[in-house]
Each structure stands twice: as structure tokens, then as C-alpha cells.
Amino acid sequence: MLKAERVQYILQRLQELYPQPPIPLDHKDPYTLLVAVLLSAQCTDERVNQVTPALFAVADNALDMSSQDVSLIQSIVRPCGLSPQKAKAIRRLSEMLVEDYNGEVPADMEALERLPGVGHKTASVVMAQAFGVPAFPVDTHIHRLAQRWGLTSGKNVVQTERDLKRLFPRESWNRLHLQIIFYGREFCTARGCDGRVCEICRHCYPQRKHPKKTLKA
């Protein structure tokens, strides 16, 4: 199967399975999404959704969060892991939003990436899910699936993101990155599929005899 055929099949099959994929992290606006995505680093979305109600009950906007003690924020977000770094980042980015953007989250990739604790992937998620700007956030799981499906030979998420953006229509990026996440969680997990088990892997590579060795992100 040619790469172009794999791309078309993946687009069609994921659309059939997840026609309207929901945003996994509970939020009400760009600020609460930004904080939730920051907390999701090395943590499950499910755990983040369990933690954020208590955090946002204390402060759900940049102005209120900027006045909270880091120790209080840390005590709430501790179940998400890396709590000292995440708490400091949440407080400081809130201060910066108040100082530089009147408390609002900027709809600008470079501005987001300058905020503490906000890398390219987090900024991409916010741009896509809060502002509807085409972006293709790539985490380690999407990186792994893209290799299993023969969409990239990238050695890191940067190259994989570049390849996926080149292969798929721009208007599909925001929806597709969520569809791949949901498919990966349900069918093509790190332990549940080695490139020969799930439906998409088998369809794209019906003759694959050995596990697909993927390059680490």
C-alpha cells in the first residue's frame, strides 16, 4: 500500500470511528485549558480532570491565580506529579498573563511558548482546541503510531509533526490529532499493539511479520 493510500484510509477510518472527538481535558475557556494541558505533562487526562475542579474552585483566571501562594497550588496539583515545577509555572504564567496580556491567554504560538511550563506541544494544543487555529500537537504516543503506520521515520516529535502536517490536509489537523489520541488509547496502545495487532496497523501493513520498532521521541 502506497503512503498516499495509507493516509486516505487513516483519514476515512478515524472519521468513521470518531466523527466528533471531544476535547479530553475539562475546561471552560482558554485559561483553564492552558492550565489543564500544563498539568497533563507526564500525567493522564483522567487524573488532571480529577484535580482541576479543586484548583479552579480556588482560582479559575489569571488574576486570581497570580495572587495564590505557590504552596497552595502545589498542594492541590500534587497528584499530577512534578508538582513543584507545575505549581511555580502556573503561578508565574498567570502573573505574566496579567502583566502582559490583561489576564487573557494570547492566541499566538510564540507568545504562548514564552510562558513558563509551556512548550511547543502545549502551545499547539491551546491554539488548536481553544482558538481553532490549525495545529498538530504531537506527543510520544502519536509519534509512535505515526511510525507504526508508515507516516514518518522521524527520530523525534518535531520531525513527526512536520511529516504529519505535510501529509494531511490543514483543515483536518485539529480533529485528526484528537482522533489519533482516542484510537491509540483504545486500540493501538504501547503494550496492546506492536504494529501487527490493531485494525489500522493490519490494514496498512498486512504482510508485516515482525513487531515495528519505533524510534523514541
Residue range 45-61, pLDDT digits in tens: 999 999 999 999 999 99
Q: Is 139 a catalytic residue?
A: yes
Q: What is the pLDDT of residue 190?
A: 84
Could you tell me where in the chain the CATH 1.10.340.30 domains are found? Answer: 30-129
Q: Encode pLDDT of 137-175 as tens digits.
A: 999 999 999 999 999 998 899 999 999 999 999 999 999
- Joined grid coordinates for residue 156: 523525534
pTM: 0.93
Active-site option among 60, 108, 121, 194: 121
Could you tell me where in the chain the CATH 1.10.1670.10 domains are found? Answer: 3-21+136-204
Closest CA to 39 of 54, 22, 18: 54
Q: What percent of the chain has pLDDT over 70?
A: 100
Amino acid at 148: R
Q: Which CATH class is domain 30-129?
A: mainly alpha
* Size of the chain, expressed as the number of residues it contains: 217
CATH number assigned to the domain covering 3-21+136-204:
1.10.1670.10
Active-site option among 139, 194, 209, 212: 139
